[in-house]
Amino acid sequence: MKELVDFVVLFILYIFIFYKRWKVKGKDILFINTIMYIYLSFVLYFTLMPIITSLPFVFNHSYVPMNLVPFIDISTGRGDFIRQVVLNIVMTIPFGFLLPLIKNKRINLMKIVLYTFLLSLGIEILQPLINDFRSSDITDLVTNIFGGIIGYILYLIFKPLTTKILSYIKEK
């Protein structure tokens, strides 16, 4: 229920700021930016929320530093590491796919790696700050980047199809 506050704020931001800006740029821009906004909202939901209701308590718990040993869970057999790796990869595939559509062809693999790294790093730094039951891990950073790369490869494969779809939306 605490997440509802965050979603209300995200909805208000979308309606009063982003929707107006994107609508004047065309239906295709509005469509793809809205898809990315919804996607990023769900990333926030699964990785950081509740955010707003947690802010007053940010300093009420200790900050656990990021685990800097890659894939330690796999090598030690701790937890549900395979599930975590798969989920982290899957989580950023849409980012790698959608970002080139938003950036309008001004993106390459190195930029995808950079932007996915920055998105993931931001999440990993904020997770233990917002509450004390989340932790950050270098493995998440690596697997998120891998997911972004897969998404970019899928974008390259489906580029002709996405171009047709966006052209169709633009004409309508």
Sorted by where each begins, the domain ranges of the chain are 3-57+80-171
Q: How confident is the model at residue 127 (pLDDT cuts 50, 70, 90)?
A: confident
> What separation in angstroms does the CA of 15 have from each of 12, 24, 33, 52, 165?
5, 13, 13, 19, 24
Q: How confident is the model at residue 91 (pLDDT cuts 50, 70, 90)?
A: very high
Q: How confident is the model at residue 167 (pLDDT cuts 50, 70, 90)?
A: confident
Distance CA 72, CA 135 (A): 14
Most confident of 64-68, 73-77, 120-124, 130-134: 120-124
> Could you give phi then psi for residue 67, rounded to 5 degrees?
-70, 120
Residue 126 is predicted with a pLDDT of 87
Question: Is the pLDDT score of 69 beyond 90?
Answer: no
Q: What is the pLDDT of residues 31-62, one digit of tens each?
A: 999 999 999 999 999 988 887 877 777 767 67
**What is the mean predicted confidence (pLDDT) over 122-149?**
87
- Put simply, whether the predicted model's pTM sits higher than 0.95 gets the answer no
Residue 49 is predicted with a pLDDT of 84
Q: What is the pLDDT of residues 5-32, one digit of tens each?
A: 999 999 999 999 999 999 999 999 999 9
Helices 138-171/27-47 angle, 10° precision: 160
Can you name the residues that pair with 163 across neighbouring β-strands?
none
Q: What is the DSSP letter of 137?
A: B
Q: Which long-range contacts (CB under 8 A, 24 or more apart) does 66-72 make?
A: 66/124, 66/125, 66/128, 66/135, 66/136, 66/137, 66/138, 67/135, 67/136, 67/137, 67/138, 67/139, 68/138, 69/138, 70/138, 70/139, 70/142, 71/139, 71/142, 72/139
Q: Which of 29-33, 79-83, 146-150 has the lowest mean pLDDT?
A: 79-83
Are 49 and 117 contacting, i.e. CB atoms less than 8 angstroms apart? no
Q: How confident is the model at residue 99 (pLDDT cuts 50, 70, 90)?
A: very high
Residue 168 is predicted with a pLDDT of 86
Neighbours of 55 (CB within 10 A): 11
Residue 88 is predicted with a pLDDT of 93
